[in-house]
């Protein structure tokens, strides 16, 4: 079986550690439905064919762990409206391809809007410094992993022509919501998020009776995580195990947390495919409101936003089922567009855009006869 790029697929996990972990996992007979909430976990699981080597009684499903996938259409619409109103929108490459209600930032760029790709908020600030004639807006999306960099940048002096459009999310409220809404027995929590916030924010989930393990991103890390979850189930307990202690401290990164809290505060937030989740967003504090592009330019982009929304009326959205995929209720091959009208080269929905997207990874790495991955 070849991947999309013509190269052969990597072989499934075979190291001695992985073999031993798999033996341990196969000894446990009870059924276990595990959800992870991390695009990087999904990538490792798909890349190494882990679902195809797990026993039938273990199912690993993906939750809303891909940041560009959960960025709501309306936030993309606002970014497009800002660009069409004369602002220079700068953001990550993946974000440029994610569809809003009717189009993506890349579509807007092809129509003449000033949209640029950057690798970090610092690149955006540098652009604003070099081009004072531009109104530079950084479209900042992501989870707790990327928020500290945004906070650190805003704590420095930034030029007047620089502002940020935020669509930042916090992971634990989404997991807590899904725990009460999804048929899941246990959770793998994202190691990079826990590196920042620590293990404590996942404790309410364990208190509700769900075994939780914080996992790293190697195949062995994920197998270890599954094994630790099985052990909790066998003992009839639920707690937060740290399966990534080489990086994650229980208290997290206190310096990063302090910076985040100085600049951002918790607010309700809209997640694509899920809806509004209480206290799941991070928005700029009042002290930083002059850097908030949504407020700063509200009057300028209002009519462009109406136009962007109108374009969506009657538009065929190709029946994207990302909402069901992001909540673990469906798998990519269930979508009629999967691999046909929707591919990484021509994504019809957000889950096919990013290397962290479930559809992207299933398209790129799915194997013939690959057990649960197929």
Choose the binding region for ligand SF4 from 144-152, 190-198, 273-281, 342-350 (rule: CB under 6 A).
342-350
Interface with ligand SF4, residue 348, by CB under 6 A: yes
Among 170, 337, 354, 366, binds ligand SF4 (CB under 6 A): 337
Contact positions with ligand SF4 (CB under 6 A) in 350-369: 351-352, 359
Interface with ligand SF4, residue 72, by CB under 6 A: no
Write down the least CB distance from residue 373 to ligand SF4, Å.
15
Interface with ligand SF4, residue 61, by CB under 6 A: no
**How big is the site for ligand SF4, counted in residues (CB under 6 A)?**
16
Cα(262)–Cα(154) distance, integer angstroms? 10
Q: Which residues, in sequence order, are bridge partners of residue 60?
A: 34
Interface with ligand SF4, residue 70, by CB under 6 A: no
Cα(198)–Cα(209) distance, integer angstroms? 20
Contact positions with ligand SF4 (CB under 6 A) in 282-321: 318, 320-321
Cα(70)–Cα(64) distance, integer angstroms? 7
Rounded to the nearest 10 degrees, how much is the dihedral formed by the CA atoms of 334, 170, 288, 95?
Answer: -30
Interface with ligand SF4, residue 104, by CB under 6 A: no
- Per-residue interface string for the shown chain with ligand SF4, residues 199-228, x marking contact by CB under 6 A: ------------------------------
**CB nearer to ligand SF4: pick between 53 and 98:** 98
Choose the binding region for ligand SF4 from 60-68, 143-151, 250-258, 343-351 (rule: CB under 6 A).
343-351
| Cβ–Cβ < 8 Å for 53, 252 | no
Cα(123)–Cα(162) distance, integer angstroms? 11
Can you say whether residue 285 is alpha, beta or left, with left for phi > 0 and alpha for psi between -120 and 50 degrees? beta
Write down the least CB distance from residue 340 to ligand SF4, Å.
9
Helix orientation angle between 219-235 and 16-27, rounded to the nearest 10 degrees: 30
| Cβ–Cβ < 8 Å for 367, 374 | yes
């Amino acid at each position: 079986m070849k991947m999309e790029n013509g190269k052969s697929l990597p072989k499934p996990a075979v190291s001695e550690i992985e073999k031993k972990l798999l033996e341990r996992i196969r000894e446990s007979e009870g059924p276990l439905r595990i959800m992870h909430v991390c695009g990087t976990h999904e990538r490792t699981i798909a890349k190494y064919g882990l679902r195809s080597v797990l026993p039938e009684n273990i199912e690993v499903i993906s939750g809303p762990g891909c940041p560009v996938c959960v960025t709501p259409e309306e936030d993309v619409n606002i970014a497009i409206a800002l660009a069409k109103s004369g602002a220079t929108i700068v953001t990550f490459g993946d974000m440029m391809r994610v569809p809003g209600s009717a189009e993506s930032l890349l579509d807007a760029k092809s129509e003449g809007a000033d949209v640029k790709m950057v690798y970090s908020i610092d690149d955006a600030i540098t652009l604003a410094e070099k081009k004072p004639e531009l109104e530079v807006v950084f479209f900042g999306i992501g989870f707790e992993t990327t928020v500290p960099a945004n906070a650190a940048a805003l704590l420095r002096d930034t030029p007047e022509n620089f502002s940020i459009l935020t669509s930042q999310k916090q992971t634990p409220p989404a997991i807590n919501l899904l725990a009460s809404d999804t048929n899941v027995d246990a959770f793998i929590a994202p190691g990079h998020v826990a590196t920042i916030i620590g293990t404590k924010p996942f404790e309410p989930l364990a208190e509700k009776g769900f075994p939780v393990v914080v996992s790293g991103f190697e195949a062995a890390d994920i197998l270890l995580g599954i094994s630790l979850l099985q052990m909790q189930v066998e003992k009839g307990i639920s707690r937060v195990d740290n399966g990534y202690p080489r990086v994650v401290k229980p208290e997290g990164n206190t310096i990063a947390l302090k910076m985040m809290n100085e600049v951002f505060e918790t607010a309700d937030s809209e997640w694509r495919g899920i809806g509004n989740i209480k206290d799941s967003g991070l928005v700029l504090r009042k002290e930083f409101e002059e850097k908030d592009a949504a407020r700063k330019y509200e009057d300028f982009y209002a009519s462009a936003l109406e136009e962007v929304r109108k374009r969506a009326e009657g538009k065929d959205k190709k029946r994207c089922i990302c909402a069901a995929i992001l909540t673990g209720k469906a798998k990519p091959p269930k979508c009629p567009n999967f691999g046909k009208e929707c591919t990484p080269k021509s994504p019809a929905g957000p889950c096919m855009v990013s290397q962290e997207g479930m559809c992207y990874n299933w398209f790129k790495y799915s194997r013939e006869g690959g057990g649960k991955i197929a």
